[in-house]
Structure 1
Amino acid sequence: MTTNRTLVIVAHPNLAESRGNATWLAGIKDLDNVTVHDLYQTYPDFKIDAAREQQLLREHDTVVLQFPVYWYSVTPLLKAWFDAVLVHGFAFTFDGSASALQGKKAWLAVTVGSTLETYAAEGLARRTLEEYLAPVAQTLEFCQLDYQGFHSVYGMIFDPLDEDLVLNAKEYRRLIATSETPAG
């Protein structure tokens, strides 16, 4: 039986001061067959080596994009990564042929500053987190990745209880270790 290889692409501009993303990473650092790839550490100048990134994607079965939600979207370097790496001929085609990513699983791990109640039709954000993540999900699906949903933790600017963050990080570790689908 082959072992699932998971690539966790971390796109946090200030990981040293992160609670949520750093806690998640601390919980998975010892897992076999998991590669943690910090975009902001690797590309502080935003000069992305597309060939290197594409090779990393080829070498893994599951891709997890881990990032804090910035203005209802991805972080700037993750957007630049999409533009440089997920290009025609590698990540997608127009003729119906398979991309290099076809059949690989992908999901999102996102930290959110606001509360869950904020992300509701009647909340301050006026939409759910799932609605805000739809463009990212569509990008992954367009690239023929098998989008699995997202794992999230809310309220990061309100300093969530350590116990809640630890429980969330345990669930994150379980999802990555077992290759299960996040509930969203």
Structure 2
Amino acid sequence: MSTNRTLVIVAHPNLEDSRANAARLAEMQTLADVTVHDLYGRYPNFEIDVAREQQLLRDHETLILQFPLCWYNVTPLMKAWFDAVLNYGFAFTLDGSASELNGKKAWLAVSVGSAMDTYTSEGVARRSLDEYLAPVRQTLEFCQFDYQGFHPVYGMMLNPTNEDLVLDAKGYGRLVATGGSPVS
């Protein structure tokens, strides 16, 4: 049985410089039954303790992956974490039997440098954010997580106001506290 409701895995290579993630993490600190796990703080040399990470996943009902979009993808340590932790027998099987992650909820909390209109067929990125996050979604679904979507905050390179960041963090916190699903 899970000991905590939500595990927030933060994978930001420059967390101390991220205003959006600082606001979101401050909000997480006010919530019960939430474990915040900073990958770059824990594994600065990318030497991941697989057994520890797998136990964290076992001990929680919901997984939130919080990261900045990095060249239209997850950060390097998040990708290394996927490769090391989500392995055969634990995270997926090939015979159709349930993995240890089967049915656990998972969603993404993504910070994005550009404005929302960048992520349209007419925008500079030429695709939606959902399209760029498709490999992450597929990874989670392949590992039998119940993928819930993503909660983005856009415009980080456009110097948003502190008030906007606090509003985003409050909305994020409400989703986590209520066990809600992001609308994406």
TM beyond 0.5: yes
Q: 5 Å matches for 1:44-55?
A: 44-55=44-55
Shift of 1:46: 0.2
Is 1:89 aligned to residue 89 of structure 2?
yes
| 2:164 match | 164
| Number of corresponding residues | 183
Which 5+ residue runs of structure 1 have no aligned equivalent?
none
Q: Output the CA distance in 2 between the equivalents of 1:173 and 1:124.
A: 30
Q: Which amino acid aligns with 2:87?
A: V
- Asked whether the equivalents of residues 63 and 106 of structure 1 are also in contact (C-alpha less than 8 Å), the reply is yes
Shift of 1:102: 0.2
| 1:153 match | 153
SS in 2 for 1:5: strand
Shift of 1:141: 0.2
| 1:24 match | 24
- Asked whether the equivalents of residues 68 and 75 of structure 2 are also in contact (C-alpha less than 8 Å), the reply is yes
Is 1:176 aligned to residue 176 of structure 2?
yes
- Asked whether the equivalents of residues 105 and 147 of structure 1 are also in contact (C-alpha less than 8 Å), the reply is yes
- Asked whether the equivalents of residues 3 and 59 of structure 2 are also in contact (C-alpha less than 8 Å), the reply is no
Which 5+ residue runs of structure 2 have no aligned equivalent?
none
SS in 2 for 1:80: helix
> What TM-score do the two structures reach when normalised by structure 2?
0.97
Shift of 1:4: 6.1
SS in 1 for 2:114: coil
| 1:58 match | 58
| 1:132 match | 132
Q: Output the CA distance in 2 between the equivalents of 1:3 and 1:95.
A: 29
Is 1:67 aligned to residue 105 of structure 2?
no
Identity, in percent, stands at: 69
Q: Output the CA distance in 1 between the equivalents of 2:49 and 2:26.
A: 26
SS in 2 for 1:65: strand
Shift of 1:166: 1.2
- Asked whether the equivalents of residues 114 and 158 of structure 1 are also in contact (C-alpha less than 8 Å), the reply is yes
SS in 2 for 1:106: strand
Query: RMSD across aligned C-alpha pairs, in angstroms?
Result: 1.1
| 2:107 match | 107
- Asked whether the equivalents of residues 4 and 179 of structure 1 are also in contact (C-alpha less than 8 Å), the reply is no
- Asked whether the equivalents of residues 113 and 156 of structure 1 are also in contact (C-alpha less than 8 Å), the reply is yes
Q: Output the CA distance in 2 between the equivalents of 1:6 and 1:151.
A: 15
Q: Output the CA distance in 1 between the equivalents of 2:56 and 2:27.
A: 22
